[in-house]
Structures are given as structure tokens and as C-alpha cells.
Amino acid sequence: MCGISGIINKNNDCVGTKAIQDMNDLIIHRGPDSEGYFFGDSFVFGHRRLSILDLSPAGHQPMNFQEKYVITYNGEVYNYIELKDELIQHGYTFKSETDTEVILASYDLWGEECVQRFNGMWAFAIYNKIEDLIFCSRDRFGVKPFFYSEVNNKFVFGSEIKQLLPFHDQNFANLNIVLDFLVMGLSEHTEQTFFEDIYSLQGGNNLIYDLKTHTHKVKKYYNLKIDPSLTKLNEEEAVIKYQQALKKSVKLRLRSDVKVGTCLSGGLDSSSVASIAAKINAVETSEPFNAITASSLDPKNDETRYAEQVVKHSKLNWSVVQPTHNDFLDKIDEIVKIQDEPVGGPSIVMQYVVFKKAKEVGCKVMLDGQGGDETLLGYERYYPSYLLSLPLKEMVSGFFKASNNSKLSKTSLLAYCVYFLFANLRKKRLLKRNSFIKSEFFSRVNWRFLTKLAKSYRDILELQKLEIFETQMPHLLRYEDRNSMAHSIEARLPFIDYQLVEAALSLPNNYKINDGWTKFLLRKAIDDYLPKSITWRKNKIGFEAPADIWLKDHKDYIQSAIDSSSILQEITNQKIVSDHKSIWLMFFIAKWEHAYNVKLRQ
């Protein structure tokens, strides 16, 4: 896990040393162990190394291979051992124990198709000397970031947006994205970022830059593959299939030459990962597996008591951190700077303190539970889509079961069905909730996307694809990457193993939601690993901060930040905002604007 940088001069001039060093210095947190550079005729690669596999100098980057390729790479290809064995049979020899060298040999043998064989997370750029091009790629779901921009006759790329900003004369807000975020809560749903003229290479895409013509093209290489044979499995077979795939995913992500731990909220997903990892760890060492929990000051959303049950059951070595009243004020500016773009709420602080604690206890790799909800229909807002897929008689009984086996009342569940299934009603509610925004700016909101969202609720598979690639999971992955790497921690996500994702989406929907139980398949698969009080919890909380307490305690500070925002002054009419979600969104827009001196283009 590392940080990457790159500059290409489109006029074919050599790139100076200072420019790439400055880019690299901005991401020293992503790779404090070493740095390196490779200078081509009209381009340069930079790299910051966080040593996870093969801690020796043999893993130094940028890495050369056979005098044909040079790579700067961020990520982990977990199946590198199996790929290496296959490549050795093709006659390749290796000088290191790194996955980096395996990527280069794979590219030499299979070309662009090599990424189809990788199981992991990555963002890399490979200079191909033979074809005079740079081959860039981002993993299937976009776990690792890759940003790029064309500015002042340069093509620049990096792991974080902050690396690209110095190449621009002024940081301008992408007003369309700001409005989509403020009105609909959307971010990461397009290749555009919150900054004008800075783009994100989407997950599952390659970017090929031709150094001869100084043109580039983006090519999608991954589409989810549905296995029709899995739809025919009975419940027991489906549970075994999913359990085996999840255990394999966790085991792959325990491959490391440094200490590994896990984030533990007390929810089903993180508890499942922790319990499986603990069992695997117990076979290999007598040392207990490490887990870290963030405790909320608000009893209404504090899951520490559930985490404690998992700790006792799985015999984990447990650390607990609780952000205080002052921690919010002390850390928020740093966290906003780390994230590069506005975030959706204060829970980001909880995640930040977990990774801070991980660094303190020496866990350089941390597992986490992102992706379980999106792949197994874990959110209550998925109920309308599931109910709509049922015959009328089953739909009625399913409605009552969903209410009985979740925290939703029947009235709330009915409201969910109306809200998420009908775009026009949802739009009217959003317009009312956001009446503080000046009416002329509503035309710039991407309402077509709202229609796309509502339409997806009529097809569960399409809804899940949208959640995985465009709406829910991408921004969670961004939070995870920035918060972990800010503390030089590699976060690994077992639920987003592509083989596990494809298995989950291929299995029948009534194994994902069954008798009203969300994530039924996971509950059954993990039932012998966890206490029943965890496996069959109804009160899904999520990774939440004590938002109400912080909002009350820091009301003046939050309001002052909002009032000082030039962007918000331009697009809002300063009516009193009572909706707490909107207040937090506005606060983080204001803090982002201040952190990066962002302006609106006039």
C-alpha cells in the first residue's frame, strides 16, 4: 500500500525534479517507509512506499522489469502467490517476494488483460517502453484511488486530489457536484470530482496514455458476472457456498509481513470479519487477533456492548477509543483536509480515531466490513425493491415480516416504499427539504439520476449494481482509504472480493432477505461463529457518531462555519435550516471550501 504520482509534459520537455518531489511530499503519509522516482524523456513517476509485503529494498518502487516496463503502484494483489506460480511455469523468474513484480510479469505475458486475473485492490501506472505508452488501471470497485487532470500542457495523476491542485492557478468548485451532494447526498457517482477539471478514474476502468500523440482513452474492463448455476442452489447449498467464499476472502487478506488487526463496530459485517479472522489467526499463532472499536458518547447509537460480546466470544485483543467533546473541534480541520472533498456526516471522525489507534498499537494492516450491506441487501431502504419482486400475496406477508424483523415500524416501512420507488415524490420532498437553496440553482441538480435511482428499485440486481458502483459504496471507500492512509494504515475489505461479490449477487434474492431478515445469507453463514445476540440483531445502527450531541454542543461553531462560506452564500437564501442532515452537509462544504480556498467560477 503506497502513494503514486505522475507528470507528463505534453510538449515533450523533460520534467523537473522539484515538481514530482512536491507531489510526493504531499502524500508522505501514504508511504513513510521510502520514496522513489523514475524519469522518462517527457514524464516522471513518483512513489511513496508503505512496506507490507517483502519489507526489503527489493520491493522499492518505481520498479523496473526486464528493461521493458516501469511501474508505480498502490495496492495489494492478494492472489499474487498463485499468479507467481503460474508465471514461473511460463518461464518467468523473480527477484523479490512482492506482488509488484508479479503485476509486471503478468502485464508482460497477458497485456492489458492481466487485470482480469488480479484479485485485490490497486491503482497503478506502467510505462511500456516498447509501445511508448503508459498503462494505468484502477481495481474493479475503486478501493484504491486514481485522480488525473489535464492542465497547462501537462497530464498529471496521483493518489489524492491535493497532489493535483498546485498545477491549477485557482481551485474552483464543480458546482454541479456540490449541488448533487447538498440536495441528494450524492458524491462519487460520476468521474467528476468536487473540483473543476479534476477527474477520478472509475473503478473497473483502465486509462491508456499514448506518449507519441499525447492522447488518452479510458476503457472499461470489468462488468459484474452473474453465475446462473448459483440461482439453482437450495438454501443450505447457498449458505455453504457463501461461507466458503467469505472465509477464502478473509484468509487472502491476512497475507502480510506486518501486524494485522480489524475494525470492530459490533455490527454484523465487522463482527463476521473479526470472528473469521480470529479463527484463522488462532491456527497460526497463540497471539490473539487485534480489534479496535470506536465508542459513541450517545447511548442511542453506541454499539460497544455488542462489540464486547464479539471480543469475548472470539477471544480478541481489544482496544476501545471514544472521541470526546473536544476531539471533534481538535480533529475536524485535519480530517477535512485528509478527505480532499466534502463528507456526508460526522461519523468520519469515528473512523479516523480507529485508524489512529491502529497506528498506536502497531497494526499496519486493518480489515474492515465495508461492502456487506450493498452486496447482501443489508440496508432497510432495500426492502421496497425486494417486496416489489414478490407475488402480491407474498408481498403483503413480506411487508409485515420486514417490519417485525427490523427496526422499522409499519408506517416507516410504507414511507420507505413510497419515497424510494417514486422519483417525482422524492424530488418534491427534496425540494421542500432544500428550500433554503435559491430556486435558480435547482436546474443544475442531476434530477435524471434520481429517476435512474427510482427505476433501479424495480430490479434488485440493477439496484445493487448502482449501489456498488455509483451511489453508496464509492464514497464509503473514499472515506476508508483517506482515513486509513492518513495514519499509514492499509485497509483491506473482505466483502469486496470480486468473487465473493459476484457470488452474493448471483444467489437468489430470497436468501439475502428472508422472512424479513436482511443479510439472511450472512447470518446463516456466520451463525456458528458469533453469539446469537449478534447474528440475529434487528437494530441495525451503523458506524455512527454522537451527531446530535456534537450538533448541540458545537452549534455556534458549526453555524459560524456555514455563515462564513462564500459558496453557500451564493447558492442559498440563508433561511433557517432545521434538517440535521442538511446542516452537516453544509458544514462540510464550508470546511472544505476553507481548507482548500475553493471559489465559485464567476
Question: Which of 2, 114, 263, 417 is labelled catalytic?
Answer: 2
Residue with cell 507528470: 7
Q: How far apart are CA 260 and CA 253, in angstroms?
A: 9
* Cis, peptide link before residue 62, omega less than 30° from 0: yes
Report pTM.
0.95
447 phi and psi, to 5 degrees?
-65, -25
Q: How far apart are CA 124 and CA 159, in angstroms?
A: 9
Residue 196: its pLDDT value, please? 98
Long-range contacts (CB closer than 8 Å, 24 or more residues apart) made by 592-597: 592/194, 592/336, 592/339, 592/341, 592/342, 593/173, 593/565, 593/566, 593/567, 594/561, 594/564, 594/565, 595/333, 595/336, 595/337, 596/162, 596/165, 596/171, 596/195, 596/340, 597/171
Position 561, amino acid: A
- Taking only the tens place, the pLDDT of each residue in 545-572 is 999 999 999 999 999 999 999 999 999 9
Q: How far apart are CA 470 and CA 422, in angstroms?
A: 19
Q: How far apart are CA 230 and CA 213, in angstroms?
A: 46
What's the Cα-to-Cα distance from 457 to each of 239, 371, 508, rounded to whole Å?
A: 25, 19, 16
Position 529, amino acid: Y
* Structural domain boundaries in the chain: 2-220, 228-376+472-535, 380-471, 554-602
The three cell numbers locating residue 114: 492481466
Q: Angle 325-339/347-360 helices, nearest 10 degrees?
A: 90
Residue 544: its pLDDT value, please? 85
Q: Spell 433-444 as b/e; 16+ CB within 10 A means b.
A: ebebbeeebeee
Length of the chain: 602
- Which H or E run contains 305? helix 304-314
Residue 293 sits at the vertex; the CA angle it makes with 326 and 552, to the nearest 5 degrees, is 35
| pLDDT < 70 stretches in the chain | 1, 54
The side-by-side arrangement of strands in the sheet containing 69-77 is: 63-65, 69-77, 120-128, 133-138, 205-210, 215-220
The three cell numbers locating residue 235: 438454501
The three cell numbers locating residue 285: 499463532
**CATH fold for the domain made of 2-220:** Glutamine Phosphoribosylpyrophosphate, subunit 1, domain 1 (3.60.20)
Judged on CB neighbours under 10 Å (0-12, 13-18, 19+), 189 is buried
Per CATH, domain 228-376+472-535 is 3.40.30.10? no
Is-catalytic flag, 263? no
Q: How far apart are CA 9 and CA 300, in angstroms?
A: 55
Question: CB of 277 within 8 A of CB of 289?
Answer: yes
Residue 1: its pLDDT value, please? 63
Count Cα atoms within 13 angstroms, Cβ side, for 161. 27
Residue 588: its pLDDT value, please? 98
Largest CA distance in the chain: 71
Residue 57: its pLDDT value, please? 77
The three cell numbers locating residue 413: 416501512
Residue 379: its pLDDT value, please? 93
The three cell numbers locating residue 67: 528493461
